[in-house]
Amino acid sequence: MKRVLVVWVMLVFAICAAADAKKAQVSTKPLPTTTPRVNSARAMQYTREVTAIGNRQIGSPGHKKTEDYIREHLKGDNVEEDVFTAQTPVGAISCRNFIAKYPGTKDGIIVISGHYDTNYGLKNYVGANDGGSSTALLLELANQFRGKKLEGYSVWLVWFDAEEAVKDWTATDGLYGSRHLANKWRQAGLLTKIKAHMLLDMIGDADLNVDRETNSTSWLQDLVYQAATKLGYQSYFFGRSLAIDDDHIPFVQLGVPSVDIIDMNYGPGDSYHHTPKDTIDKVSAKSLGIVGDTVLQTVQMLNKN
């Protein structure tokens, strides 16, 4: 569970207007061939397969299967497995972040991340959007960066473990993987090399409305919006503003430019979030494509800076 700290700041009519306008605003015009695109059908297929594993909470058989699934899809890549122990309210649990590294020509790193665990202690829960969509889209992004000489910053893809709280969301229950990795990278002197960190969470919602998350770094968030606008996707972004505790926070606190790309309103009144209703039929290839393309476009823009 992510805590919403600030209530909606946009006027209701503005949200409604944005929702009405958005379908018509998706560009169908062919884009220049230099515009990078993800394979959204493949990202959707990955989401389907990860979701089919079922419950993926830390310490569970489904969690282990998900680790194998990620490993299998990153075969041959430079992958670091960052094993650590989370001290949770139900005891110590072994956890693991995955970091896939794709070298670039420019000094510096762009981190793109998401979490792969699902909510703890829920029955009949498969987390298609919350956990599934980010796991899958990161694997599709890996397909885009693999085997290429990246003309720009290196790209590191991170699958965080143990984002979800085990009991109640507090400063010490939740964000286990990101807190661990931010601290590890701080000790290694790596944080200053990170030019930008884009976190993806709950981005598969078929009714996509990415929030303007107010703990995020403004210039990076503005760049994401510019990227979305360039692709004709702007109406899917930033219709409302709110603060969310998520895996970017440990990095923000240590001065790493970070943006949380998240749609926190999942289903009517957020009624699918952390419930058995978070199923694959609520996720769309189109939404995965919109976010994936926007991320690739942002990377391209960062490389030009």
Minimum Å gap between C-beta 204 and Zn ion is 13
Minimum Å gap between C-beta 11 and Zn ion is 28
Q: Rounded CA gap, 108 and 287, in Å?
A: 29
Q: Does residue 130 interact with Zn ion by CB under 5 A? A: yes
Q: Rounded CA gap, 138 and 273, in Å?
A: 21
Region near Zn ion per CB under 5 A, out of 102-110, 129-137, 254-262, 277-285: 129-137
Q: Are 106 and 96 in contact (CB under 8 A)?
A: no
Region near Zn ion per CB under 5 A, out of 126-134, 182-190, 211-219, 291-299: 126-134
Nearer to Zn ion, 129 or 235 (CB): 129
Kind plus residue range of the DSSP H or E element containing 218: helix 218-230
Radius of gyration of the chain (CA): 18
Kind plus residue range of the DSSP H or E element containing 244: none
Binding residue count for Zn ion, defined by CB under 5 A: 1
Q: Does residue 161 interact with Zn ion by CB under 5 A? A: no
Identify the CA nearest to 2 among candidates 269, 249, 252, 290.
249
Q: How many CB atoms lie within 10 A of CB 240?
A: 19
Minimum Å gap between C-beta 164 and Zn ion is 5
Nearer to Zn ion, 209 or 303 (CB): 209
Of all residues in this chain, which one has the CB nearest to Zn ion in the complex?
130
Tell me the backbone φ, ψ of residue 162, rounded to 5 degrees.
55, 45
Tokens standing for 44? 């959707």
Q: Residue 49: is it exposed, middle or buried by C-beta count within 10 angstroms (0-12/13-18/19+)?
A: middle
Minimum Å gap between C-beta 57 and Zn ion is 11
Nearer to Zn ion, 74 or 162 (CB): 162
Nearer to Zn ion, 22 or 180 (CB): 180
Minimum Å gap between C-beta 274 and Zn ion is 6
- Which amino acid does the sequence have at 75? K
Nearer to Zn ion, 130 or 211 (CB): 130
Minimum Å gap between C-beta 93 and Zn ion is 17
Nearer to Zn ion, 117 or 140 (CB): 117
Residues that bind Zn ion (CB under 5 A): 130
